[in-house]
Amino acid sequence: MGYQRPGRLQYRIAQAVCAVVARVIFRRQILRNEIRDKKGPFVVIANHQAALDFVNLIGAAKRPMSFVISNSFYSTLPIKGFLDKMGVIPKQQFQTTVKDLKRIKSVIDAGEPLVIYPAGLMCEDGLSTPIPTATYKFLKWLDADIYAARVSGTYFVMPKWGKGLRPGRTQIDIYKLFSKEELANIDMETLKQRTDEALLFDAYREQEALGCKYMNGNDIRGLEHVLYMCPHCGREFTVELRGKSTLCCSACGFEETADAYGFLKKTGGDGEELRYVSDWSRKIFGAQQDKAANGTETEISAKVRISVINEKKNKFFEVGEGTVTLTKKGFNVDAVLNGEPRNFFVSVANVPSLPFSPGRYFEIQYGQDIYRCAPEDGRIVMKLINMLKIYGSAPRVKQKQQEEAV
């Protein structure tokens, strides 16, 4: 399929709706907007803090832009026909087919603007999802001016681990990162460095500068699924929620309470205070790295219920159950689906991360099929994702790199 020009009526309707959401929910402040009157083909690469980040960007240019979105997200929406007329390009996260590449490139070849989210996933802990290595070559291949669109604060409005929206101030900064001519001659290391500086973030360190309160900002229900290990005693799955604002380790009594800004304050037990959720998450990831390195834990296995998308009803429906095991090489899936035995393997070299919801499920794509796997114990989801980041082709961004990118 070649370039499909966004329908102006559908696009303007989407713009109008998104403008209201951007103003009322995200309370968006535009710092710079260098694409508003931009002519010719160009690419916007954006960081990804929340599921609705696109509402802050869709009206930034006077011309309709083609957005590349998650195929899983696209397939579960009841408005696929409307999205098709908007010219969106659904693509499975972290996997790109020749067909996908041709359709994406067709936008640039037609002289039109394109929007992509290189990280693929919004963050679960305030830290950027690593950018797949192939992305940098992909940007060169597109052969067009590249603009960065960096949002700040949207993570707190719509945290991946929480429910509902938490209105508060956010910012977006849109500026030219590379000209087409510069991109053609730049070396890969410089391209990577400048792209990472533009897109990588630590939402909690950015929040120090924003200093914004968010509605129900101290409601951290669901965060216990992300911060599953106590940073003091190191025990896993002992972190429990007390009330709506306090996390406590049932083993050692370490306790921290969130404030309206989303920061944590130590309120009980021994141990060092961790002000940022992102720093607590780094400790968990570091502990998992150590276990993998010294051989004390090299694989994770979980019993799961498996669902697939019903294209006609735009929903996932359960089709069976089985066991998913992650090793250094990849995922082994041993299941019974629709009454038939099914076994397959997916290499970690092809999936630096997976679409997931903390405490609920993760998704594996095999061929054209997406399998949503819901473990019996949802607490294992985040641990599995951390292990995949260790084994995958895009290792976790170090703390220093994250801080330098803020």
Instruction: State the CB neighbour count (10 A cutoff) for residue 12.
Output: 13
Please check whether residues 262 and 359 belong to one and the same domain.
Answer: no
Q: Does any domain span residue 217?
A: no
Does residue 132 register a pLDDT over 90?
A: no
> What is the predicted pLDDT for the residue at 1?
62
Q: In this structure, is residue 195 part of a structural domain?
A: yes
pLDDT at 73: 74
405 belongs to a structural domain: no
State the DSSP code for 161. Answer: T
Both 40 and 181 in one domain: the answer is yes
197 domain-assigned? yes
Span 100-122, average pLDDT? 92
Residue type, 98: V
Task: Kindly state whether residues 267 and 173 are assigned to the same domain.
Answer: no
177 pLDDT tier (thresholds 50, 70, 90): very high
First-last CA distance in the chain: 39
In terms of domains, do 47 and 163 share one?
yes
Q: Are residues 284 and 180 in the same domain?
A: no
Q: Which of 293, 323, 339 is the last residue of a domain?
A: 293
Give the length of the chain. 406
Rounded distance between C-alpha atoms, residue 171 and residue 208, angstroms:
14
According to the model, what pLDDT value does residue 393 have? 47
Long-range contacts of range 227-232, CB-CB < 8 Å, 24 or more positions apart?
227/125, 227/277, 227/280, 227/281, 227/284, 228/284, 228/379, 228/382, 228/383, 229/283, 229/284, 229/287, 230/254, 231/271, 231/272, 231/274, 231/280, 231/283, 231/284, 232/269, 232/270, 232/271, 232/272
Q: How far apart are CA 40 and CA 145, in angstroms?
A: 9
User: Measured between alpha carbons, how far is 165 from 314 in angstroms, rounded to an integer?
Assistant: 23
Residue 321 covered by a domain: yes
Tell whether 249 is covered by a domain. yes
Q: Which residue has the tokens 């037609």?
A: 110
The β-bridge relationship of strands 170-178 and 145-152 is antiparallel
Predicted confidence (pLDDT) per residue in 361-376, tens digit: 999 988 878 899 999 9
Q: Are residues 177 and 264 located together in one domain of the fold?
A: no
**Confidence at 95, pLDDT banded by 50, 70, 90:** low
Question: 255 - beta bridge partners?
Answer: 248, 268
Where residue 34 falls among pLDDT bands split at 50, 70, 90?
very high
Average pLDDT (74-95) is 79
CA–CA separation, 302 and 323 (whole Å): 6
Assign 94 a pLDDT band (cuts: 50, 70, 90): low
Q: What is the mean pLDDT of residues 65-88?
A: 83
pLDDT digits (tens, 9 = 90+) for 289-341: 999 999 999 999 999 999 998 877 888 999 999 999 999 999 999 999 999 99
Structure tokens at 259: 């404030």
Together in a domain, 85 and 192: yes
- C-alpha closest to that of 162 among 76, 15, 43, 277: 277
Laid out side by side, the sheet with 264-268 consists of: 239-242, 246-249, 255-258, 264-268
What CATH number does the domain containing 374 carry? 2.30.29.30
Q: Which of 181, 210, 239 is the last residue of a domain?
A: 210
Q: Does 153 share its domain with 262?
A: no
Could you give the number of structural domains in the chain? 3
Using the predicted structure, report yes or no on whether residue 401 has a pLDDT greater than 70: no
Indicate whether 96 and 172 sit together in one domain.
yes
**Is the same domain home to 286 and 153?**
no
For 314, list phi and psi in degrees, rounded to 5: 55, 40
Residue 259 and residue 157 share a domain: no
Does 312 map to a domain? yes
Q: Which value, in Å, is the radius of gyration of the alpha carbons in the chain?
A: 21
Residue 159 and residue 49 share a domain: yes
The domain boundary, picked from 235, 258, 293, lies at 293
Residue ranges making up the domain that contains 61: 8-210
Question: 164: domain CATH number?
Answer: 3.40.1130.10
List, in order, residues 6 or more apart from 6 with CB less than 8 Å away.
64, 65, 66, 85, 86, 87
pTM: 0.91
Type of residue numbered 103: R
Six token digits for residue 162: 């929480």
402 occurs within a structural domain: no
